[in-house]
Structure 1
Amino acid sequence: MNPVDQWLAINVKYFPTEQVQYIRQRLETLPEQQLSMLYSISFQDPTMMLIISLFGGSLGIDRFMLGQVGLGIGKLLTCGGCGIWSIVDWFLIMDATRQSNAQKLFAVIG
């Protein structure tokens, strides 16, 4: 098993399924030094973000953790949009987490 397949096997749950093949192609073109740097990147777990959204979503904690400060402040000031925004985020937060992880990866690999 090559290093790219090994890294993807460990981290595939952190990324959108439609981008996994593209990520594989990008990683296969990386030099060995940059590929070893990928092991130092920490990604947000989408399941953990769902749990955080369930318990702290009305305070915007989930959005703050994703680095979406504006949305976090909006949720905090409106108490999660009177609860509606929080409920909608229960369905959207896992995909938003995967997208955020993909953006973080693409920023590192260029």
Structure 2
Amino acid sequence: MDNSFQNNPYMGLPGITPEELAFLQQATAELTENQQKYFYMNYTSKRKSPQDMLIFCIVGVCLVPGLQRFITGQVGMGLVYLFTAGLCFIGSIMDLVNHRDLAMEYNKKMAFESHQLAKMSS
């Protein structure tokens, strides 16, 4: 494996946390070089940075309640937020405060999907 890819290609991702970096390194440890490259391409196209999630949450509070939930694939919760004005703004404000956790939860799901696809790609 070439050094540039092995030396943490994930470090260039916007808003990456040490927790996410460790999770990704552990998830890709057993993959071959080609599988790791496939994982990286797939994961980076789906990943949401904490900053992006913050923007979605702000728009969710101000304009479209539940936008952040729709973006993360939680359509049921998105509809609940939409029809209850973000659970009377409390849910939307909680999501705003916890936007990093929302991003991490979503990114872990995307890492799992990308890992499965990478394992099948060889």
Q: TM-score per shorter chain, which class?
A: 0.7 to 0.9
TM-score (normalizing by structure 1): 0.82
Q: Following the alignment from structure 2 to structure 1, what is the Cα–Cα distance between the partners of residues 6 and 111? A: 14
Aligned to 2:19: 18
Which residue of the partner structure matches residue 51 of structure 1? 55
Matched to 2:52, the amino acid is M
Label 1:59 to 1:100 Cα distance change in 2 as closer, same or farther (>3 A): same
Aligned letter for 1:84? I
Give structure 1 stretches of 5+ with no counterpart: none
1:22 CA drift (Å): 3.8
Q: Deviations 1:58-99 (Å, cap 9, x if unpaired)?
A: 521111001011110110010011111111111122211112
State percent identity of aligned pairs: 28
8 Å CA contact 2:53–2:99 kept in 1: the answer is: yes
1:27-83 Cα distance to aligned partner (Å, 9 max, x none):
232111111112243111211211221122352111100101111011001001111
Does residue 89 of the first structure (1) align with residue 95 of the second (2)? yes
TM-score under structure 2 length normalisation: 0.75
Residue 65 of structure 1 aligns with which residue? 71
| Structure richer in helix, relative to its length | 1
The aligned residue for residue 28 of structure 1 is 29
Is residue 49–residue 62 contact of structure 1 (8 Å, CA) maintained in 2? Answer: yes
Aligned to 2:54, what secondary structure does the other structure show?
A: helix
Q: Distance in 1 between matches of 2:14 and 2:111?
A: 12
Partner Cα separation in structure 1 for residue 77 and residue 27 of structure 2: 31
- Give the aligned CA root-mean-square deviation in angstroms: 2.1
**1:20, CA displacement in angstroms?**
3.0
Between the aligned partners of 1:64 and 1:83, the Cα distance in structure 2 is 16
Q: Which runs of no fewer than 5 residues in structure 2 stay unpaired?
A: 117-122
